[in-house]
Structure 1
Amino acid sequence: MTPLGAKIRKIRKDRDISLKQMAADLNISSAYLSALEHGHRGTPTWFMLQRIITYFNVIWDEAEELQRLAEISDPKVTIDTSGMPPKATELTNRLAQNIESLEEEDLAYLTQEIEQRGARARAKNR
């Protein structure tokens, strides 16, 4: 499941809207909506995301969160490490080999660590 899919599902469940009802209201197939929620489809188009935001009639903060989650919800990421140091290629390959066996807390720790180190590096390079 992607971060966006989890959020869409949570909002839908919190509002007691069935998957079939939401799909019908958006004029999309329930299979597509299910695949989107479960991370079997890529990030929706900007237009589809706007339709979902409008459908839920969310406030600005939640709409921005849905847009942010869409940006980090591609379930089939490709990372090109050509031209980077060998350690970048090694890290990418080790993550690909081990990601399925990592626990939720490990994933959260690694995500936080990468975000913090990336922010420091960007600030340093300004």
Structure 2
Amino acid sequence: MTPFGTKMRDLRAKKGVTQKEMATALGISPAYLSALEHGRRGAPSWPLVQKIVGYFNIIWDEAEELQRVAESSHPRVVVDTTGLSASATLLANRLASQIAGLDEDDIRDLLRQLAEMQERGKRR
């Protein structure tokens, strides 16, 4: 599952439509929509995100948030540590090898820590 897939399912459930109804309205196949929702496809294209925004009548901040969620929903991620420290390469490899064993609390904690570090970096 991806953040975008979760958001799409939530939006679709709130609107009370099936995947088939939504796919038809967007001009895509139900199979592709299902793959997006289940994280078996990469992040959607910008034009598709715009169609989805229109379909759900999403405006301003919510539309921007949906775009950010789409951009961070690549189910297969490559981390290039070329030119970074050995520690950075170790971190990337350790995360890749251990992510499947992390529970949701661990993942939320790591995400919180990364967000705090990013925020500290903005204040400098």
What TM-score comes out, normalization by structure 1 length? 0.93
Q: Distance in 2 between matches of 1:121 and 1:56?
A: 35
Q: CA deviation at 1:122?
A: 4.4
Q: Distance in 2 between matches of 1:17 and 1:118?
A: 38
* Residue correspondence of structure 1 range 46-125 to structure 2 within 5 A: 46-124=46-124
Q: Distance in 2 between matches of 1:44 and 1:6?
A: 13
Listed one character per residue, the Cα deviations across residues 28-50 of structure 1 (whole Å, up to 9, x for unaligned) are 11110011111111111100100
Q: CA deviation at 1:116?
A: 1.2
Q: CA deviation at 1:59?
A: 2.6
Q: Look up the SS of the partner of 1:82 in the other structure.
A: coil
What TM-score comes out, normalization by structure 2 length? 0.94
Q: Is there any run of 5+ residues in structure 2 with no aligned partner, and where?
A: none
Q: CA deviation at 1:119?
A: 2.8
Identity %: 50
Give the aligned residue type for 2:52: I
Q: Number of aligned pairs? A: 124
Map of 1:2 onto structure 2: 2
Q: Look up the SS of the partner of 1:106 in the other structure.
A: helix
Q: Distance in 1 between matches of 2:96 and 2:12?
A: 31
Q: CA deviation at 1:102?
A: 0.5
1:12 aligns to 2:22 (yes or no): no
Q: Look up the SS of the partner of 2:51 in the other structure.
A: helix
- The list of structure 1 runs, each at least 4 consecutive aligned residues, that deviate by more than 4 angstroms after superposition, is none
1:37 aligns to 2:47 (yes or no): no
Q: CA deviation at 1:118?
A: 2.7
Give the aligned residue type for 1:121: G
Q: Distance in 2 between matches of 1:123 and 1:81?
A: 25
Q: Look up the SS of the partner of 1:42 in the other structure.
A: coil
